[in-house]
Structure 1
Amino acid sequence: MRLQLSTWPEVEAYLERSTGIVVPIGSTEQHGPNGLIGTDALCPEAIAWALGERHDILIGPTLSLGMAQHHLAFPGTLSLRPSTLIALLRDTLDSLARHGFTRVLFLNGHGGNIATLKAAFAEVHATRSLAAAPATGAPQPALFNWFLGRRVRELAAELYGDAEGYHATASEVALSWYVAGVEKSATMTPRIAPLGSAECDAETFRRRFPDGRMGSDPSLARREHGARFLEAGVADAWEAWQGLIDEE
């Protein structure tokens, strides 16, 4: 069940049987020579949609812009400031709280969002804790990174070994190709990209990683692999969702 394709009476009826929602969040950034710029949003969105269809969970709109400033030296990347993303997340949670949602799982597709997501959650918790009359029934936010799920990691190791890497990985490229119904090719030199820190400005990042990859060889990706990553991602996300709901 997707929020964007629902009417308000349908959402009201959903809230009578469940007060949980999944919100996909990603980024719009370069993913190496053969990776789609929308990879980090396409992947968690596809997993979330499948999760919602199979388990009757409401899926919110995908937050497609993230904290990607270190990729801005590559054409096509769009980025929010950390403070902007924190404000967006707080307003999203406040909106959901207004309607009575009590559990919000952010299904994340971008490693660069993790620190900012956790900072946003800390801001939300601090606001409630410091209030003279703490709110009751406010939604508890939780984070699940699809690319760190146990099944996904095991499958990536099986298919790509050490060539999986850390950015523009073969696993995320394969899943995004599968979802989008495309496949792209490019020459990778060197075959496995160098490693290093992404905690830097955009120009420094491009000097360290000239073609945008970090320790990866996404030429190993195949669109048919994406179907397997989707199944693994849905199973991992369902496990995370059950853990969240069990806390109620």
Structure 2
Amino acid sequence: MRLQHATWQEVEAYLAHSTGIILPIGSTEQHGPNGPIGTDSLCPEAIAWALGERHGVLIGPTQAIGMAQHHLAFPGSLTLRPSTLVAVLRDTIESLAHHGFTHVFFLNGHGGNIATVNAAFAEVLAERSLGREAAGELHLRLFNWFAGRRGRELAESLYGEAEGSHATASEVSLAWHAAPQTVRDVILSPRLAPTGSAQCDARTFRRRFPDGRMGSDPSLASAEHGARFLEAGVEDAWEAYQAFVTDR
């Protein structure tokens, strides 16, 4: 069930038997010459929606704008400041806790979000610990779909070192599967993009990575591969979610 498709009565009924929710979080940023700008949100969203359909877990709306300042030299990329994203996540989490959700599971599609999401968790938990009144039970978890065991093994078997670290063949494949209208046939030159650090400002990033890719060859991507990454992602995320809600 998707939160934005439900009525308040349906959410109330859900809370009577489950207090866990999955929230996709990603980014809106360039993904090279053949990857859609929404890749980092399309991927976790597709996995989350499949989880909702197959397992009946409630899926919240996607936080589609994340930490992407280093991509701003590429048109169409959007970013939030760290403080802005922390504030958005804090209010989102506290809204859910107010209604009785005790286990909030963020399914992430963008590595640049990790530090800020963890900072938001720390702020929420510190405020609860330091408050004068005892706060209710609340557990928070961040899971990166691209770091799941099955997904990593599949990417290694299909692409090896050509997977790279940004605008990867695996994420482009999954985005294409989730949104077939975004498939593009583009000649990449060089086939394998340069490698380096993304810890820089936007101008430096574009100078280091002229077409936006980092060590990747997404010409290897396909929607057919994307279907396999969806299955791997669903299995990885469901395993992690089950362990989370049962406190294992």
CA distance in 2, matches of 1:115, 1:34: 27
Q: Structure 1 residue 181 and structure 2 residue 180: aligned? A: yes
Partner of 2:161: 162
Letter in 2 for 1:41: S
Partner of 2:221: 221
Q: Once structures 1 and 2 are overlaid, which stretch shifts more, 149-158 or 177-186? A: 177-186
Partner of 2:117: 117
Letter in 2 for 1:165: G
- Structure 1 residue 125 displacement after superposition: 1.4
CA distance in 2, matches of 1:29, 1:234: 24
Letter in 2 for 1:176: A
- Structure 1 residue 131 displacement after superposition: 1.6
CA distance in 2, matches of 1:122, 1:191: 41
Q: What does residue range 1-248 of structure 1 map to in structure 2 within 5 Å?
A: 1-137=1-137, 139-182=138-181, 183-247=183-247
Letter in 1 for 2:3: L
- Structure 1 residue 141 displacement after superposition: 1.3
Note the alpha carbon deviations across 1:168-190, whole angstroms, 9 max, x for none: 00000000001101311222121
Note the alpha carbon deviations across 1:90-125, whole angstroms, 9 max, x for none: 000010011000000000000000010011111111
- SS at 1:17 equivalent: coil
Q: Once structures 1 and 2 are overlaid, which stretch shifts more, 126-135 or 214-223? A: 126-135
CA distance in 1, matches of 2:12, 2:246: 22
CA distance in 2, matches of 1:88, 1:34: 30
Note the alpha carbon deviations across 1:146-199, whole angstroms, 9 max, x for none: 000000000000110100000000000000001101311222121111111111
Letter in 2 for 1:246: T
Letter in 1 for 2:160: G
- Structure 1 residue 128 displacement after superposition: 1.3
Segments of structure 1 that go 5 or more residues without pairing to the other structure are none
Letter in 2 for 1:110: H
CA distance in 2, matches of 1:99, 1:163: 45
CA distance in 1, matches of 2:135, 2:98: 11
CA distance in 2, matches of 1:140, 1:91: 15
- SS at 1:22 equivalent: strand
- Structure 1 residue 132 displacement after superposition: 2.2
**CA RMSD between the two structures:** 0.9
Give the percent of matched residue pairs that are identical in Structure 1 and Structure 2: 72
CA distance in 1, matches of 2:239, 2:208: 37
CA distance in 1, matches of 2:61, 2:86: 17
Count residues with an aligned counterpart: 247
- SS at 1:135 equivalent: coil
